Amino acid sequence: MTDRRGPPDPDYAALALFRHLVRRFLAFSEAAARKEGLAPEQHQVLLAVQGLPPDSLPTVGALAWQLQLRPAQVTRRVRRLVASRFLRRLPHRLDPREDLIAVASRGEAVLRRLSITHRDELRRMAPQMLPALAELLHPDRRASSSFAAPSRPRRGLSMSASLRLRSAVPSFP
């Protein structure tokens, strides 16, 4: 006799909640970059250059892989960031056809401020994001059905003030 149950149903509510939280973080990230005078895409390039693994050379090809973009797109973004003095191009000693990309001091200052701001925002969102992710990774450990989408901020309150008014989301051991 065959088992008619088939594969387990995806947990739509948990997926939707986690996607909502990721999107909220990305919206925050885009706004923070614009506040610093960068396009969100420029911030992503700066972070990709600075955050490449130590065994990766900062070439257009490596950045294209890191950002999941075509090399031509990365080249245009790098060119604009070099013109704005956020990035520098350095000659590649082993391959003269290729340049290495480095974050310039102006880019380091902006990237440092943005990275601190982003880290702080992730820490603020962690009480919602971690249980939502745990719900997806370990559905057998469901704490309760309290994984509802965060409510919208009350009129006149900031998102953080509104979230403080909500009860804490239970965490997994």
Tell me the domain boundaries of the chain. 12-138
Q: Per CATH, which fold does 12-138 belong to? A: Arc Repressor Mutant, subunit A (1.10.10)
In this predicted structure, what is the pLDDT of residue 158?
46
Evaluate if pTM is beyond 0.85. no
Q: How confident is the model at residue 156 (pLDDT cuts 50, 70, 90)?
A: very low
Give the list of residues 6+ apart from residue 48 with CB closer than 8 angstroms, or none.
63, 66, 67
Instruction: Quick: pLDDT tens for 124-153.
Output: 999 999 999 998 888 777 654 444 555 555
What is the pLDDT at residue 110? 98
C-alpha–C-alpha distance, residues 8 and 24, integer Å: 28
- Predicted confidence (pLDDT) per residue in 59-115, tens digit: 999 999 999 999 999 999 999 999 999 999 999 998 888 999 999 999 999 999 999
Q: What is the rounded distance in angstroms from the CA atom of residue 14 to the CA atom of residue 5? A: 21
